[in-house]
Amino acid sequence: MVRIDFNRLRFLVIDDNAHMRRILRTLLHGFGAREVYEAEDGAAGLEAFTHYIPDIIITDWAMPIFDGLELAQMIRQPGANANPYVAIIMLTGHSEKKRVTAARDAGVTEFLAKPISAKGLYQRIVNVVANPRPFIKTKTYFGPDRRRNPNPNYVGPERRKGGKADTIRQTALLEKVRAPG
């Protein structure tokens, strides 16, 4: 298990449900975190993000004023705030494919379906801390690379959603094996 020094991490929990905020705070303090800030809607969450500059945001999807998806889109604006690269973990009761895809396309780093577990939350935190993905910027997207498992055998145009294709020749694994030397 990867060891994380939680007391050096600053968390922001955004959820309109006070019980869920308490559960999250309890888990994070249990992990060893000291700095856990809270907000009860998207607008307060954005304000807290600007003020506290957290390392990791854990947000609900469905919230008043603006929701977790809109919040993620507002944060993923390069140059518009102090840390557009901040890790965003979306914690929600929605787990349908279209929801997960929408969260991914809004720039969410990790998705965690309720009911929450200590293990599930810990794994998501380890992922964002120890294995961060590069960010991709196109005309229509700014956020973590949506390709979690690049195919080393892929040969063809390097395409990104929302832009003109740019051909980048990638060597197939088979060709690498056959290549002399």
Name the burial class of residue 176, with classes exposed (0-12), middle (13-18) and buried (19+) by CB atoms within 10 angstroms of its CB. exposed
Output 31 or 73, the one with its CB closest to other proteins.
Answer: 31
Output 30 or 174, the one with its CB closest to other proteins.
Answer: 30
Output 3 or 178, the one with its CB closest to other proteins.
Answer: 3
Residues 18-37 within binding reach of other proteins (CB under 8 A) = 19-20, 22-23, 26-32
Which ranges constitute the DSSP H helices of 32-112? 42-52, 68-75, 97-105
CA 84 – CA 107 distance, rounded (Å): 10
Among 34, 153, 158, 172, binds other proteins (CB under 8 A): 158
The helix/strand/coil state of 157 is strand
| Contacts with 64 (C-beta within 8 Å, 6 or more apart), sequence order | 16, 41, 42
Residue whose pair of structure tokens reads 């929990």 in the numeric block: 13
Among 37, 65, 73, 135, binds other proteins (CB under 8 A): 135
Cis, peptide link before residue 144, omega less than 30° from 0: no
Sign of the CA dihedral 82, 84, 89, 94?
Answer: positive
By CB under 8 A, the count of residues binding other proteins is 69
Asked if 146 is part of the footprint of other proteins (rule: CB under 8 A), the reply reads no
What is the pattern of x (binds other proteins, CB under 8 A) and - over residues 87-126? x----xx-xxxx-x----------xxxxxx-xxxxx----
Output 166 or 177, the one with its CB closest to other proteins.
Answer: 166
Instruction: Please report, as ranges, the residues that interact with other proteins according to CB under 8 A.
Output: 1-6, 8-9, 16-17, 19-20, 22-23, 26-32, 51-53, 55, 62, 82-85, 87, 92-93, 95-98, 100, 111-116, 118-122, 128-130, 132, 134-139, 145, 158-160, 162-166, 168
